Amino acid sequence: MAKMINPYDDKNYTFFGDVCKFIDEAANHLKYPKGLIEQIKQCNSVYQFNFPLSGKGEHDYQVIKGYRVQHSHHKLPVKGGIRFSISVNEDEVKALAALMSFKCALVNVPYGGAKGGVKIDPRNYTTEQLERITRRYTSELIKKNFIGPAIDVPAPDMGTGAREMAWIADTYATFHPDSINALGCVTGKPISQHGIRGRTEATGRGVYFGIREAVDRADDMKALGLERGIEGKRVIIQGLGNVGYYSAINLAKDGAKIIGIAEYDGGLYNESGIDIEAVIEHRKESGSITNFNGAKTIKNSLDLLEYDCDILIPAALENQITVKNAANIKAKLIAEAANGPVTPEAEEILIEKGCMIIPDLYLNAGGVTVSYFEWLKNLSRVSFGKIEKKNDEMKNRLMVEAIEKSSGQQLGKEHRDLLIKGAGEADLVDSGLEETMINGYNDLRGTMAEHKVKSLRKAAFINSVDKIAINYLDMGIFP
Ligand code: GLU
């Protein structure tokens, strides 16, 4: 079975070390005291714990390892997902927690960064066991005050989803029956459990908005030898999980061709484009994307990263493009939907080759952006648009009718409906997400120009380190 690259094969490698390198580089462009940069770099709290999971027999149990890392308390609560994966380790959780701080700062979502993890392969556990693991994990966080709507607010990440978030919310609420804000202790919940419309698709939809912004700049595209716009772009995607799926279907809707899909157990390739929904159906029936009859099966899915394409979207694990394969990458644009898929050394090789990288800090910020909206909804206990929608509709209708009367012209049905319709929760979430991604890209380009840097990632770190530093200075901690 073909595997994704495991960076921990290299004994000297640390993911957190990679993130620190980016922070140091950003600091070189800024004028802040060394001590302040060190504070910004370090993880403020690292909590590692173990708990038993009993099996069927009386003496049958296993020890489960859990983590929660709070990287930066410059803003509270801290925020970040919980990952269920066998590759979870302290270094990984620290790095991912740090990335959350910079991601939130970059897109102006007012949180510090955090991340959690449970070292299990969720595919090896029954639903009942996963529920016990999730509830026990939550209890361990409660015991140490590592969760709460004003303290630390988890969310889905790799291997977890709305179901796990509902278990977390229920466990927390059980321990805090008198807290009216208890349901704001976690985001990414099912809609019926005080979640928000659009959260499930948010990260992938944000990836789409980010790519759309990047490919809309004719000069940048010309430099890459590409046409402006999404239409006709040949895309290879690694990872067809939640983020990969929603990125792919949104891009395909705008006319992109998904020519390759890489998964942990094999890949698919078809130069004429692959029907994503049909692949999902096929996987539901067979358990794997491989042997899908609308594409050629590629045994070693990592090879697909090196195939010719316009846009490569790593949407799986960190450290997939390293010094080992960077020189062979043919994509002109790499869009980091996953966290940390390109190492700093690989990035240097790619930039040298003229490749453009849209960094994770910016590109996958859609998830936490919509999490922020969910948290606001939980604290205010009213869904967006609920109060004003009908009233807006009534006013819009009067306005449209007045315009039609005075102009003597009837608007077409489509335009009429669009003008009259008041915005509901899904519309508002999507518009807030789109606005955040557009502004984020413009900010990145602004920082690039101001600091004369060639890489969007450098700009992302400069922009976010600067914002966090200002925050600390304004708190009076570093006079
Ligand atoms: N796990 C997601 C991320 O890495 C979402 C975090 C959140 O919504 O808090 O950005």
Q: Does the CA dihedral 280-286-290-294 come out positive or negative? A: negative
CA-nearest of 222, 227, 232 to 258 is 232
Which residues lie closer than 8 Å to 99 by C-beta, 6 or more apart? Answer: 19, 113, 115, 339, 340, 360, 361
Is residue 24 a part of any domain in this protein? yes
The atom number, within ligand 1, closest to the CA of 153 reads 9
Percent of the chain with pLDDT over 90: 94
Quick: pLDDT tens for 58-67: 678 899 999 9
Distance 72 CA to ligand 1 centre (A): 15
User: Could you tell me the distance, in angstroms and rounded to a whole number, from the CA of residue 153 to the centre of ligand 1?
Assistant: 10
Range of the domain at 123: 20-193
Mutate to test the pocket of ligand 1, among 99, 243, 371 (most ligand atoms within 8 A of CB): 371
pTM of the model: 0.94
* Residues with C-beta less than 6 Å from any ligand 1 atom: 79-81, 155, 157, 187, 339, 364, 367-368, 371
Please name the residues in contact with 387: beta carbons below 8 A apart, sequence gap of 6 or more.
none
Which letter, b or e, does each residue of 264-281 get, where b requires 16 or more Cβ atoms within 10 Å of its Cβ? bebbbbbeeebebeebee
* 161 part of a folded domain: yes
**Does the residue 439 lie in any domain?**
no
User: What are the strands, taking DSSP E only, across 188-265?
Assistant: 234-238, 257-263
pLDDT of 6 over the 80 cut: no
Distance 308 CA to ligand 1 centre (A): 31
Which residue in 120, 128, 115 sits closest to 51, CA to CA? 120
For residue 91, tell me if it sits in a domain.
yes
| Upper half-sphere CA count for residue 403 (Cβ side, 13 Å) | 12
pLDDT of residue 53 exceeding 80, the answer is yes
Which of the 8 DSSP states describes residue 420?
Answer: H
Task: Kindly report the CATH number assigned to the domain that includes residue 30.
Answer: 3.40.50.10860
What pLDDT digit, counting tens, does each position of 255-301 carry?
999 999 999 999 999 999 999 999 999 999 999 999 999 999 999 99
Give 85-143 as a 3 state SS string: CCCCCHHHHHHHHHHHHHHHHHCCCCCEEEEEEECCCHHHCCHHHHHHHHHHHHHHHHH
**Does residue 36 register a pLDDT over 90?**
yes
Instruction: Give the mean pLDDT of the chain.
Output: 95
Pairing relation of β-strands 333-335 and 356-358? parallel
In a domain, 421, yes or no: no
CA of 165 to the centre of ligand 1 (A): 12
> Would residue 63 count as lying in a domain?
yes
Residue 80 lies in a domain: yes
Count of beta carbons in the 10 Å neighbourhood of residue 416: 16
| Mutational test site, ligand 1, from 107, 147, 157, max ligand atoms within 8 Å of CB | 157
Across-strand partners of 98? none
Strand-pairing partners, residue 321, are 342
Q: Is 318 among the domain residues?
A: no
Q: What is the pLDDT of residue 1?
A: 37
Model confidence at 4, in pLDDT bands (50, 70, 90)? low
- What distance lies between CA 53 and its chain's CA centroid? 30
Instruction: Tell me whether the omega of the peptide bond preceding residue 122 falls within 30 degrees of 0, making it cis.
Output: no
253 has a pLDDT exceeding 50: yes
Give pLDDT, residue 9: 62
Please pick, among 94, 115, 189, 389, the residue that the annotation labels catalytic.
Answer: 115
Tell me the pLDDT tens digit for each residue of 181-239.
999 999 999 999 999 999 999 999 999 999 999 999 999 999 999 999 999 999 999 99
Q: Based on the structure, what is the number of domains in the chain?
A: 1
pLDDT of residue 55: 80
Question: CA-to-CA distance for 386 and 388, rounded, in angstroms?
Answer: 6
pLDDT at 3 > cutoff 60: no
Rounded to an integer, the average pLDDT of 113-122 is 98
Residues 404-457 pLDDT 10s? 999 999 999 999 999 999 999 999 999 999 999 999 999 999 999 999 998 999
What ligand 1 atom has the least distance to the C-alpha of 80?
9
Annotation marks residue 454 as catalytic:
no
The tokens for 451 are 């600091």
